[in-house]
Structure 1
């Protein structure tokens, strides 16, 4: 049995070890045994170090694998978090758009209801006004009819007196014109030399005007054929011929005019006689004789007509007028009557004639205005179908195309 010392320590092992050391030290192979033990210890130490390194390497590999798994897990968690946040953001945006749409729909419904209420109120107001106007017109019609029945005899007498006065006026005008004409013929018969000179001058002037345009055109062509004529002379001759042609002739855009051209110069004595013998008051009075208009429109045109007729007396400027209405309502007739009553010459052109001219339209219009400015009496220029060229610049191509299509169909 082993003997235990203090605190349970057994010294028997130490004693055996000490005994073994003494025996080993006395042995001849002690040094070899010690070296072998040292080598074994070194081998065990190297093996322990290799095992330690292998454990460390495994630990590092395990740590790297754990980090990789942790990083991958974190990435998956971050991706899931980002997807969830994106889903929430999309849902919030969708809800926001839905709320905006609902708000706009509510606002639109409110506006529609407000507009419907306003339209209903306007409609009720207009219906009320129409009922009031209808009652007023009925009352006015009854009053006018009653007044007309009461004053029927007075109106009849006034109409008879007006017609009698008109017939007497026409009779006096015819008598005055006949007396003036008879005095003129009597003067011519009593003065054969004057009659001979009058007819001679009339025939000479008529012949001169008739051949002037053709002579000017022929002379212009002959002069331009000469090679030795310089450019300046050609320009002067061209401008002079154009000037004489504009004074004597009539522009191609003018369809009808009361201004006498060289082809109508034989009408000059008759026109001069009418201007001398006409009664201005009768012309003013009968300007609307053959035209039927609404009372308000007639009053407005009457004011414009008086201002134009009395332009020289009152130094009033001439006005530009725009007549709008369907065909056959008397626009051209009123323009002719107004020009005749005011002592002006009238000229009629058509707006649809300008579109086929293309780029030459401006030049032709300038010729018309230059020709009108050279009139001593003044010209009332009436542009019929003015909407054909009073358009925006970008619409001219469509006008020319439509004209080309219509011309193609006609051919």
Structure 2
């Protein structure tokens, strides 16, 4: 309808343009529609085929509408329609602008999301690159460490080879110098002997004449001295014999002098032996529980505690196999009854690998029986030489003076009680052995002899004949090792950590399971080695106050003053990994000892060899 009223709508419907001009009507166009297609001619221009019929009808309708009474209403209606269309177009435009703004915001959001993803990907790439660079740096550092270690090993090997070469050169130089010195000495002695012989041959006449003159003068002097002495002695003797009072006084004086000298000598010897036996201890005795007068004066409190202490159990702190425990308990009971009845003690031999508890049981046996113990070592006899016989007699004289009875424990007895027929021993050691056999020929009610040896097959037959009972101490089996580990773990680690007296702490782990694992790993180890392993766990003791006063199996002697390698951690916490590390070190050390023992060659032993496991030996 807009074009009907001369309203031209723009491209967006915003305004009206000029009215459309109708094309001119061609003459004869009205009847052109009735002609056939064959009568039509080709159009001369672009309006040739235009049909103006529609336009005419529209113009006719416009003229009719203009003369109609509803023209104004139609016009207002057309304007309202046009305004409605414009409002619709404006609303669509606003919607379009809102859609455009929404698209812009969505585009911004998408760009932000893309930027965030890009930053995240860049961050991930940076992290991956940093991790890769760190990995490369670690790998380079490890390679450098390996190269440095190889270089150090190579340098150490070269240094060892250099030291060995220098030592060989030094040894060869020393041998060469000694050889040359010996040759020079022989040449010098030979030259001096030739010169002396030549001088003696040349001065033989002069020397004989001098000797003849000296002999004549000496003979003359002696003859004159004899004449003078004979004259004086004869006159004095004649005067002495003629005076009976002088003869009587002289005889009485000589008799009293001889009696005094003999009495003083014997009295001094008796007093010396008594003082040495009562106040001191023999030089061969290294350790004893016997209380002397000097000990009582120096340490009265400790001596009183020892005197008031009750007898201990013979197997307290000693862990052995059940069969061996039953046997040694019978020995302890028999020894205690012998002490009570004041009967004759029996001599015992304890043999087996080192560190199996022989010395510890001997001490416990003496304390259980109410006796004193004295420990001597067979290796101390040989260095004494000729004094060994005297020292041996002093030991037994000192043992016979004990009122409570003495358990004389001879450790490493095979060092001086060897076979006299087959072994090449010195005369001094043979004499000491004979003195020992002489003093132990009969059983005594004063002392009990206990021998300990790792090689009892080296004993002299006379020594073996004096042994009444032999006890073999085997290496601990699995059950005994587990009991030992638990006992020493409780003594050296658990109690110090729980009592709070020391700076030792324990991490949280299964202690019982760990002790069982350690017992499994320590196969072939002795009780002393297990005790040393437990002491190694207790590495955090740094002051003498925390040092255990009594350490069985000889661990205290090897620890010194108790600075047992200090604490392995700064905070003083004993962890399961630290225990495992100590166990591995102990196993390696034990294997090294076994290798050394194998290199020395197998030595047969009675009962058990240290080369065998406890199960094989049983």
Normalised by the shorter chain, which TM-score bucket? 0.3 to 0.5
Structure richer in helix, relative to its length: 1
Structure with higher RCO (Cα < 8 A, 6+ apart): 1
TM-score, normalised via structure 1 length: 0.38
